């Protein structure tokens, strides 16, 4: 029987994960089926159990269920435990559910693939929600000189920085207190979805800086357009999406697919 995997979300019809994992399966010769399942907002745990009972072996988890997934797991990887969120569920041989998070690895892998140097760099991360929390440990493991978290609510950014301060030079505060320049600026807010821009100073970017938006689309986001006008090199989050999917595929199948080929194909469909 073909092994079954899925992505859970609400909504989830827009998800590109089935296309990505189908491409990974074809590329690696792995026999699997991957679908999208829209779980009820108050019924994620039941949806996962039903999927397992029908033969499911693992799943990706997207908005708004990453914290629900964290709570239902029997075991967690250290990085998932630290992030407080799970985007990858693995059904173990003994029937227990193991949770991991691959978002940070996807982000760092994409930055490195694009030639962005994180070691010794001054980083700014915008936002203090779950998307940001899930990427801080891998970013700090890359050895930046400093990492500052800026958020509309300064106290939330400061609290998040305190949670990760044992891993490096981390600080946090409000958007109004941001002082550049930075070498890498990562937008982890959802502002781009609404065509909005966080209130940021014009002197944010150092010469040769990179602006990265975790969101993506056929056209550059408002944040990336703004950054480009101020001299920054720009990258969107499509590579992060494919990269985190590749990490999940590796956890499930023990085979690491080639991200570049799938990313190039996916980019042409936007």
Asked if residue 146 lies in contact with residue 161, where contact means CB atoms within 8 angstroms, the answer is: no
Taking CB atoms within 8 Å and a gap of at least 24, the contacts of 52-58 are 52/91, 52/97, 54/4, 55/1, 55/3, 55/4, 56/4, 56/5, 56/6, 56/91, 57/3, 57/4, 57/5, 57/90, 57/91, 57/252, 58/5, 58/88, 58/89, 58/90, 58/91, 58/248, 58/251, 58/252
133 Cβ neighbours under 8 A, 6+ residues apart: 83, 84, 85, 160, 163
Q: How many CB atoms within 10 Å of residue 197?
A: 17
Q: How many CA atoms lie within 13 A of 126 on its CB side?
A: 26
Measure the CA–CA gap between 101 and 97, rounded to whole angstroms: 13
Binding residues for shikimate: 15-17, 62, 87, 103, 216, 244
Give residue 59's Cα distance to chain centre: 15
Q: How many angstroms separate the CA atoms of 113 and 180, rounded?
A: 25
User: Which one, of 13, 25, 53, 14, lies nearest residue 245 by Cα?
Assistant: 25
Query: Which residues are the active-site residues?
Result: 66
């Amino acid at each position: 029987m073909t092994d079954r995997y899925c992505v859970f979300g609400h909504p989830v019809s827009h998800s590109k994960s089935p296309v990505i994992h189908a491409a990974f399966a074809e590329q690696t010769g792995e026999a699997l089926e991957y679908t999208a399942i829209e779980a009820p907002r108050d019924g994620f745990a039941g949806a996962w159990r039903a999927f397992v009972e029908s033969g499911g072996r693992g799943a990706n988890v997207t908005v708004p269920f990453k914290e629900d997934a964290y709570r239902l797991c029997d075991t967690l990887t250290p990085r998932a435990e630290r992030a407080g969120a799970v985007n990858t569920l693995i059904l173990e041989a003994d029937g227990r559910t193991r949770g991991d998070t691959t978002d940070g690895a996807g982000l760092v892998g994409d930055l490195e693939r694009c030639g962005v140097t994180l070691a010794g760099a001054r980083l700014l991360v915008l936002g203090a929600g779950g998307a940001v929390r899930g990427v801080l440990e891998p970013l700090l493991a890359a050895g930046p000189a400093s990492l500052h978290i800026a958020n509309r609510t300064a106290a939330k950014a400061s609290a998040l920085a305190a949670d990760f301060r044992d891993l490096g030079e981390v600080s946090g505060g409000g958007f109004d207190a941001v002082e550049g320049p930075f070498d890498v600026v990562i937008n982890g807010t959802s502002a781009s979805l609404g065509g909005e821009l966080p209130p940021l100073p014009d002197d944010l970017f150092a010469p040769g800086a990179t602006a990265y938006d975790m969101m993506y689309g056929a056209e550059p986001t408002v944040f990336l357009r703004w950054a480009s006008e101020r001299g920054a090199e720009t990258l969107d989050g499509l590579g992060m999406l494919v990269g985190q999917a590749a990490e999940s595929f590796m956890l499930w199948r023990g085979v690491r697919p080639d991200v570049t080929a799938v990313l190039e194909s996916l980019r042409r469909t936007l």
